[in-house]
Structure 1
């Protein structure tokens, strides 16, 4: 686990984080763009022990956080030297798949079987038609992830020995503020506390079951190894993000840009995803809604993750995470 960077640019006057001193316990924190941190377990009267406890009282907490951010006399400490953990420990993670038009087209071409009679152009045209139909029929695709896959935004990522094709998938993640069940698209964003960054790593070789194709995708095996979801560094309040449907999602691998796409390419925006999920499930404070990953994954480039690779992921207004890959040796 790495210490916080000295420069922490993000949109708005403050963000939420989970921090710790090198040998201390994690604490919920208010952080500012100029590199200050305030322990919220003592600054808020209900003494929250973690960020999720702040989110559970979000309507009450938000105006207090604004007041605290403006109070320079508070018990602030420099971020420099503190360790940054994943900003929240969710109870549930909802992951949107096939939500970026160009990404899905690229994957369809990359996963064609050797005997596929279609040309590349024919394969692209067919999947583009499927994307158009999905958008017209208003049918997002969402599956469930495990909280145990989450790791911090500067932690090393262990690539399991069994993972044959580990890949990156940088995503915008919405963080839920209030319990949400059967909410409308028009009201859905009122249930979002803020946004953060998630890198939803995937072992491409494990996505589809080889033993029985009718079973389909195996998200447990392909996406939920410990540390396969670097999260953070910050939760930026929703009101500081003007339009979640117009943010730049960028991932660099060893300094080279691999993903660089706007969330405008999403088939279904944050409001639609939250509403859709809430029709079947009850979203809880601190839950994550991952909105899918844009084009530019390793399977597209023919370059999967290896030992020593460094991924740097950023989303407009949300800061940057930086993780190093370490191949499991046994």
Structure 2
């Protein structure tokens, strides 16, 4: 089967309309145009979200289409503007503290644990805690507003509300059909594909200090505009052989910060889908951010500043690039 992906694009004209694009070997054609040329009305005039709403039919039509098309006249993707690959989903779910080394590092860095432990003892305590959590616990999930979503190459505007903006490169699951109370055994049937997200976080806004019993405040710390670059593509799941064996790498201004694989995930995708759908109805096009590996700014005591350039990539899914710009007064 010839590989393909989906994305949302426009020409670089200021008033250009967005379109759902079929991507083959980094060349792009509007799906609505292809639908007309090849007599596929079920694909015509649809956004990526609309294609996902009838994903089973859409995928079969796209799979047959890519075997017929001649891409020589298609537009090179470098000539187009990328928008969020799903523009826009209705719901975004984030699974926090879901990479083993990441959580252990955070525990040691913050010196959170029983009093009187040495650094090595604290690390061992955290490791045992993670093993127990996987054996007996559940995923930790919160939602993120869709207004936080931006394109994969858009500038990240650093707001004046935070002094500690941080990065979290993540594999994102794209849902392909509606489901509620889904079993782990059936969970992957609901996955249309994968994409990349960066769960930007204002570290200094996570704890509530006015009333500490409230705990964490994910709304203000993770929900600000631009705090979820999404894309560049939706890659159908059949083209990712093993979602638990993907390389994840993020650099900030040339320095490698995150360099891990998805193998370090604590709760797998099946468990996340089962857990989320136990309490919320999943809809086509929904995004599940599956957690971030070790190496965020908190670990290095280094946060994003004006002029920084982030480069994040996951094998098989492409890359993201954001330049950080301080918000103008």
TM-score range, shorter chain: over 0.9
Which residue is equivalent to 2:104? 105
Which residue is equivalent to 1:21? 11
Find the aligned partners of 2:269 and 2:55 in 1 and give their Cα distance: 19
Deviates more, 1:278-287 or 1:40-49: 40-49
The structure 1 residue matched to 2:67, chosen from 50, 60, 70, is 70
The structure 2 residue matched to 1:37, chosen from 14, 21, 28, is 28
Find the aligned partners of 1:162 and 1:222 in 2 and give their Cα distance: 9
Which residue is equivalent to 1:241? 240
Find the aligned partners of 1:319 and 1:12 in 2 and give their Cα distance: 17
Deviations 1:14-53 (A, max 9, x none): 10000001121111111012x2112113324142431000
Q: How does 1:53-202 map to 2 (within 5 A)?
A: 53-73=50-70, 76-88=74-86, 89-112=88-111, 117-202=116-201
Q: What is the DSSP-based 3-state SS (H/G/I as helix, E as strand, rest coil) of the residue aligned with 2:59?
A: helix
Shift of 1:131: 1.1
Q: What is the DSSP-based 3-state SS (H/G/I as helix, E as strand, rest coil) of the residue aligned with 1:173?
A: strand
Find the aligned partners of 2:51 and 2:8 in 1 and give their Cα distance: 11
**1:206 to 1:313, Cα distance in 2 relative to 1, 3 A:** same
CA contact (8 A) 2:200 2:228 kept: yes
Shift of 1:116: 6.0
Find the aligned partners of 2:124 and 2:290 in 1 and give their Cα distance: 24
CA contact (8 A) 2:258 2:295 kept: yes
Q: What is the DSSP-based 3-state SS (H/G/I as helix, E as strand, rest coil) of the residue aligned with 1:289?
A: strand
- Following TM superposition, where does structure 1 have runs of at least 4 consecutive aligned residues deviating by more than 4 angstroms? none
CA contact (8 A) 2:166 2:203 kept: yes
Shift of 1:117: 4.2
Shift of 1:122: 2.8
Shift of 1:12: 6.3
Q: What is the DSSP-based 3-state SS (H/G/I as helix, E as strand, rest coil) of the residue aligned with 1:292?
A: coil
CA contact (8 A) 2:2 2:66 kept: no
Shift of 1:301: 1.1
CA contact (8 A) 1:86 1:153 kept: yes
CA contact (8 A) 1:18 1:29 kept: yes
Find the aligned partners of 2:239 and 2:74 in 1 and give their Cα distance: 22
Find the aligned partners of 1:72 and 1:285 in 2 and give their Cα distance: 27
Q: Which segments of 5 or more consecutive residues in structure 1 lack a partner in the other structure? A: 1-10
Deviates more, 1:185-194 or 1:208-217: 208-217
Q: CA RMSD in A?
A: 1.7
Find the aligned partners of 1:118 and 1:311 in 2 and give their Cα distance: 36
Q: What is the DSSP-based 3-state SS (H/G/I as helix, E as strand, rest coil) of the residue aligned with 1:95?
A: strand
Q: Which segments of 5 or more consecutive residues in structure 2 lack a partner in the other structure? A: none
Q: What is the TM-score of this pair, normalised by structure 2?
A: 0.93
CA contact (8 A) 1:12 1:236 kept: no
CA contact (8 A) 1:245 1:270 kept: no
